[in-house]
């Protein structure tokens, strides 16, 4: 793939940038100083950071022409996605359709699944020590499904505050955390990220980490994971097709029953596994017989398919296939789907009535 794509790791204090390198076929970290390995860029505020990014990525391509740009953040707080996209469109001049926002967990998943299969043959554990707290999480990939289903587990008690502790006390706390996580699952690889791991205080922990597992350390995993996701969005063929099951992902595919194209025909509008804030689609259709639009909700895992019918009350009687309608679907949050149908008429023969029908569907 030779298309220009970019991945950002947006941190509160420092951020990082990775651009796709056609020469190496993988993400390349962008340094603040040419020829040096200085990748941590003060974030200050988003607008100033993006103005820096415009300059720092010039040697790779024009940022506003990027095929895809992905921002990775620790948590998806309310309004954050909208803020990031709005600022990026204003500063970079890129269209919303090429912008994506995802969590650090999804970036972790994206990075790992672009590594050798040997790395993720079992669970992959990530320890993040940025700031004052050490946090653990575990990635599990179900290879018995098509596509693979990937999920990151992170429990409340998988955190250890290390501020103010002596090196040996930190080491002991780290040992306790890893033993708790390792005891519950087979682990084939471990990643250590965060500025806190730059000091070598974890000698005893490292002995346990390296006992039969691959161990990697570095601070650009999230940015590289975001860049891999951007490459995927731009059409790069991945070795492993997967769906990430994050807390912000919709668990149902949304389809439209299309009786005029054959028995049980369904036109897919939204795919399960998409982030709810990106899950929106529109299409046009013709009403065949009854003034009813039937939506098919297909769960990703093990539940029965759901059907929702929207009756177009008040629609004038017209011959079959002479009523054109616009159908719009979008998720209002991860469990609430909104559907809307508008009467477009049929040219001069049957003018539009401007009637519209809407309904919200609550999903489990």
Q: What is the pTM of this model?
A: 0.90
Among 104, 121, 140, which residue terminates a domain? Answer: 104
Looking at the fold, whether 97 and 33 belong to one and the same domain comes out as yes
Q: Is residue 298 part of a domain?
A: yes
Number of domains in the chain: 3
Residue 67: predicted pLDDT: 97
* Among 127, 108, 109, residue whose Cα is nearest residue 195: 127
- The yes-or-no verdict on residue 56 having pLDDT over 70 is yes
Give the pLDDT confidence score for residue 261 in this predicted structure: 60
What is the structure's pLDDT at 34? Answer: 77
Give a yes or no: residue 33 inside a domain.
yes
- pLDDT tens digits, one per residue of 290-330: 999 999 999 987 778 999 999 999 999 999 999 999 999 99
DSSP conformation class of 236: P
| pLDDT for position 327 | 98
Examine residue 245 and state whether it is found in any structural domain, yes or no.
Answer: no
Token digits for 331? Answer: 């998720």
Residues 267 and 178 in one domain: no
Same domain? For 284 and 328 the reply is yes
CB-based contact 345:300 (threshold 8 Å) = no
Examine the domain organization and report whether 75 and 116 are in the same domain: no
DSSP state of 42: E
Predicted local distance difference test score (pLDDT) of residue 262: 59
Domain match, 85 and 117 both: no
Looking up tokens 């003034």 gives 291
Question: What's the pLDDT at 1?
Answer: 74
Question: What pLDDT shows up at residue 37?
Answer: 78
Q: Which of 60, 75, 104 is the last residue of a domain?
A: 104
Per residue in 253-298, pLDDT (tens digit) is 999 998 766 556 899 999 999 999 999 999 999 998 899 999 999 9
Contact (Cβ atoms closer than 8 angstroms) between residue 71 and residue 91: no
SS3 194: coil
Domain CATH number, residue 325: 2.60.34.10
Asked if 89 and 99 count as a contact pair (C-beta separation under 8 A), the reply is yes
Q: Do the domain assignments include residue 233?
A: no
Which of the listed residues 198, 221, 244 is the one where a domain comes to its end?
221
Domain assignment present for residue 237? The answer is no
- For residues 259 and 353, membership in a common domain is answered with yes
* Residues with Cβ within 8 Å of residue 36, at least 6 apart in sequence: none
Q: What is the pLDDT of residues 218-243, one digit of tens each?
A: 999 999 999 999 999 999 987 788 99
Could you tell me if residue 124 is inside a domain?
yes
Identify the domain containing residue 261 by its residue range: 252-362
- Mark whether 128 and 205 lie in a shared domain: yes
Query: Can you give the length of the chain in residues?
Result: 364
- Asked, for residue 348, whether it belongs to a domain, the answer is yes
């Amino acid at each position: 793939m030779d298309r220009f794509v970019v991945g950002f790791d947006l941190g509160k204090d420092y951020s990082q940038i990775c651009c796709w390198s056609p020469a190496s076929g993988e993400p390349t970290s962008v340094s603040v100083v040419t020829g040096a390995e200085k990748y941590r860029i003060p974030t200050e505020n988003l607008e100033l950071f993006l103005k820096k990014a415009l300059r720092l990525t010039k040697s790779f391509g024009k940022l506003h022409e990027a095929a895809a740009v992905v921002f990775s953040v620790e948590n998806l707080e309310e309004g954050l996605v909208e803020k990031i996209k709005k600022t990026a469109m204003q500063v970079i001049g890129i269209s919303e359709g090429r912008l994506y926002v995802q969590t650090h967990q999804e970036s972790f998943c994206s990075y790992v699944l672009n590594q050798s299969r040997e790395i993720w043959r079992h669970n992959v554990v990530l320890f993040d020590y940025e700031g004052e707290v050490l946090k653990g999480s575990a990635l599990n990939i179900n290879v018995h499904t098509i596509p693979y289903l990937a999920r990151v587990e992170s429990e409340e008690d998988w955190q250890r505050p290390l501020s103010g502790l002596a090196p040996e006390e930190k080491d002991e706390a780290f040992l306790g955390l890893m033993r708790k996580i390792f005891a519950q699952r087979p682990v084939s690889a471990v990643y250590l990220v965060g500025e806190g791991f730059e000091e070598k205080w974890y000698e005893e922990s490292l002995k346990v980490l390296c006992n039969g597992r691959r161990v990697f350390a570095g601070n650009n995993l999230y940015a590289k994971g975001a860049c891999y996701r951007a490459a995927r969005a731009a059409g790069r063929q991945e070795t492993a097709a997967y769906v990430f099951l994050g807390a912000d992902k919709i668990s149902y595919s949304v389809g439209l029953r299309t009786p005029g194209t054959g028995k049980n025909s369904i036109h897919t509008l939204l795919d399960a596994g998409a982030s709810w804030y990106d899950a929106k689609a529109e299409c046009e259709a013709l009403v065949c017989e009854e003034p009813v639009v039937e939506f098919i909700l297909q769960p990703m895992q093990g539940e029965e398919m759901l059907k929702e019918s929207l009756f177009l009350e008040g629609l004038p009687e017209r011959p079959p296939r002479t009523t054109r309608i616009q159908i719009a679907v979008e998720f209002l949050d991860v469990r609430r789907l909104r559907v809307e149908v508008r009467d477009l008429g049929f040219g001069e023969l049957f003018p539009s009535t401007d009637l519209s029908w809407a309904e919200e569907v609550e999903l489990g």
